[in-house]
Amino acid sequence: MKNDNTKPLSKVIRIDESEIRGHLDEMVRGTVEETLNAMLDAEADDLCNAQRYEHSPNRVDSRAGSYKRKLHTKAGEVEIKVPKLRKQTFETAIIERYRRRDISIEEAIVQMYCVNR
């Protein structure tokens, strides 16, 4: 006896947990990368006393491009763009100068966010 309420198996949704985890990991890694780059830009703006391309009489320095650097975090490897300045050496409070692996970068982001609020 056939039940009319049965649906064909082709309409069953299958969830691939590993694929979902991969997407979530990539989202977290991307967010960490974007946040770090935004924080580095903000630090450069503070050192220059003006935002990028801003014409201001208070400007004390200007940008001279940036260089890319890989950093290993708990969220995975991220690529950061470290700003270069014309008159002064850019030193960030976020990442130590020659460090390539930082397991506490997420904690630093949270601390800096809380301090700036």
pLDDT single digits (tens) 40-68? 999 999 999 999 888 999 999 999 999 99
> Is 6 part of a structural domain of the chain?
no
Q: Does pTM top 0.85 for this prediction? A: no
pLDDT single digits (tens) 68-79? 999 888 888 999
In this predicted structure, the answer to whether residue 6 has a pLDDT above a threshold of 70 is no
Q: State the total domains in the chain.
A: 1
User: What is the span of the domain harbouring residue 106?
Assistant: 20-52+60-116
For the chain, the maximum distance between any two Cα atoms, rounded to a whole number of angstroms, is 87
> Is 83 part of a structural domain of the chain?
yes
> Is 5 part of a structural domain of the chain?
no
> Is 9 part of a structural domain of the chain?
no
Q: Would you list the DSSP string of 52-89?
A: TT---TT----EEEEEEEEEEETTEEEEEEEEEESSS-
> Is 11 part of a structural domain of the chain?
no
> Is 2 part of a structural domain of the chain?
no
Predicted local distance difference test score (pLDDT) of residue 112: 61
> Is 8 part of a structural domain of the chain?
no
Predicted local distance difference test score (pLDDT) of residue 84: 95
